[in-house]
């Protein structure tokens, strides 16, 4: 079975600071990788996803993530955070097969102070 580990439970940053949230997974086969965001009181929303190809993936709202296969990592980055980025971020993985279920990390709560 796959598992996902997110390194930080809480991150506090000032606006304009750079962000990197760590995510490592364990699984023996090919995986699909996701970052989801949950703004206060809202649905989980997809930030970005990796299935194949360029390991550097661009997502919405200026986020990007890099898949490093040798490190089993899929870290999320943003060069300059905004107050509106305050949310909880979840890394998730699913095996590369039809209708596979998602396994989530525990989430990282990001608080950006104005």
Partner 1 sequence: GAVVSQHPSWVICKSGTSVKIECRSLDFQATTMFWYRQFPKQSLMLMATSNEGSKATYEQGVEKDKFLINHASLTLSTLTVTSAHPEDSSFYICSARVPGDFATEAFFGQGTRLTVV
Smallest distance from the beta carbon of 80 to partner 1, in angstroms? 26
The DSSP bridge pattern shows strands 56-58 and 44-50 to be unpaired
Q: Scanning residues 3 to 62, which ones bind partner 1 (CB under 8 A)?
A: 4, 9, 32, 34, 36, 42-46, 49, 51
Which residues, in sequence order, are CB contacts of 98 under 8 Å at separation 6+?
none
Query: What distance in Å separates the CA atoms of residue 75 and residue 21, rounded to the nearest whole number?
Result: 6
Smallest distance from the beta carbon of 101 to partner 1, in angstroms? 5
Neighbours of 93 (CB within 10 A): 25
Minimum CB distance to partner 1 smaller for 73 or for 103: 103
Residues composing the chain = 114
Minimum CB distance to partner 1 smaller for 24 or for 103: 103
**Residues interacting with partner 1, by CB under 8 A?**
4, 9, 32, 34, 36, 42-46, 49, 51, 90, 97-107
């Amino acid at each position: 079975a796959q598992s996902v580990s997110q390194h930080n439970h809480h991150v506090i940053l000032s606006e304009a600071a750079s962000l990197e949230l760590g995510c490592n997974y364990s699984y023996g086969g090919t995986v699909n990788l996701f970052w989801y965001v949950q703004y206060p009181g809202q649905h989980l929303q997809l930030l970005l996803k990796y299935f194949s190809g360029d390991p550097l993936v661009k997502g919405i709202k200026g986020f990007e993530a890099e898949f490093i296969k040798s490190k089993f990592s899929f870290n999320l980055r943003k060069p300059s955070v905004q107050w509106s980025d305050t949310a909880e971020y979840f890394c998730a993985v699913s095996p590369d097969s039809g209708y596979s279920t998602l396994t989530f990390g525990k989430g990282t709560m990001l608080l950006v102070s104005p």
